[in-house]
Amino acid sequence: MAHQIHRMAFVGEVPWHGLGSPLPQNATYEEIIEAAGFYTVLERPVFVPGKLDAIPDVKALVRADTHDVLAVVGSRYEVVQAADVAKTLVEAASGVKAIFHTAGTLGPTGSRFWLLGELPEPIRVRGDASLIRRYLLGTSAHDGSSPVTILNAATRVACANTLGTALGEKTKARWNIRYTRSAPERLQGAARCFKELVEGYRQFEDLANVLATTRFTDAQLARAVDQVLPVPQDDRDHKRLEANRGKVIELFEAGRGMSGIRCTGWAAFQAFTEFADHHRPLRGGDGQPAAARLESIWLGGAADLKKRALVAVADEARIPLAA
């Protein structure tokens, strides 16, 4: 099913071109909610045609504004309103001095909602002329498919590659927060997640600088590609996969913003991230390819590929990730 961006709102600079329109700086969460089109979810009973009684133990989640059905869930499922999540995240983000730039919805019915904030000081990597802007993404879904999640969405400006990756079991790039009816408890949980991600960024900056000063050969890249994009040992034709592997190798030499970092582990990682975000074929994104690609970059196949790529590049460079 094709993905759609029902509505997006951008505060300040737009990190993904062509998606949304600018808003005044320092917008309140009420302004973000209104501009992003965050709606209220209603609970409704579910009926079978010809039956008078509702189906027990299930309920439908419905948009209050359009009456679109978002999902059918168990009767014990507790609805988390986007407005409550937005309020919690905006308040918690002030503790790490993050300012939200963007908010919007994704999906055929706009079931997924998200906010994108930025930390004040970008990362600078040795030899790399491009800044890395430290974004923090908060997201959840009204269809029961996703908890409230906060994750690292760092973006390298020169090529708009999103770099968010986990460095190890203790230093994560993604956290799920327990959502409760207690506002103080919600706020405390979100604030803790934001602080953990800020610490993760510090460790990621250290790793990036080590990778940027570590020579990386064509042979090492070939082995990393074998780990991340392996060719199955069967009789089938794998032309598309071989083309994808070749694209990563090409980007290692000629990717955007490579001047100053060529032949390093950092360049190898950038080759994978540029491939994942801008060249990797999408499935099911023909209707709204920009929306489908954005969801893949943050939460789907592209995000997973970059996690595996960082591990493969670090292994080849013999650089231990955080324990």
Q: DSSP secondary structure string, 207-227?
A: HHHHHHTSB--HHHHHHHHHH
Beta strands 99-106; 58-63: pairing state: unpaired
**CA–CA dist 304, 295 (Å, integer):** 12
List, in order, residues 6 or more apart from 156 with CB less than 8 Å away: 128, 130, 131, 132, 163, 257, 270, 273
Which amino acid is residue 1, in one-letter code? M
Quote the tokens at residue 266: 């950092």
Contacts of 165 (CB under 8 A, 6+ apart): 152, 173, 204, 306, 307, 310
3-state secondary structure of 248: helix
Cα-trace Rg, the chain = 21
**Degrees, nearest 5: CA angle 265-269-270:** 115
The pLDDT value recorded for residue 291 is 76
- What's the CA gap between 265 and 305, in Å, rounded? 16
The candidate with the shortest Cα–Cα distance to 222, out of 191, 246, 196, is 246
The one-letter code for the residue type at 278 is H
Residue 314 makes CB contacts below 8 A (sequence gap 6+) with 207, 211, 265, 320, 321
pTM: 0.86
What is residue 136's three-state secondary structure? strand
Tell me, what's the pLDDT at 255?
Answer: 94
Low-confidence ranges of the chain (pLDDT < 70): 1-26, 166-172, 179-181, 235, 284-288, 322-323
Residues in the chain: 323
Cα separation of 294 and 67, whole Å?
A: 26
Q: What is the pLDDT of residue 258?
A: 95
Q: Tokens representing 69?
A: 């059905």
pLDDT computed for residue 288 by the predictor = 60
| Residue 193 CA: distances (Å) to CA of 32, 138, 163, 176 | 21, 10, 18, 8
Cα 167-170-172 angle, rounded to 5 deg: 50
Which tokens is 155 given?
């973006």
Residue type at position 237: D
CB 25 within 8 A of CB 12: yes
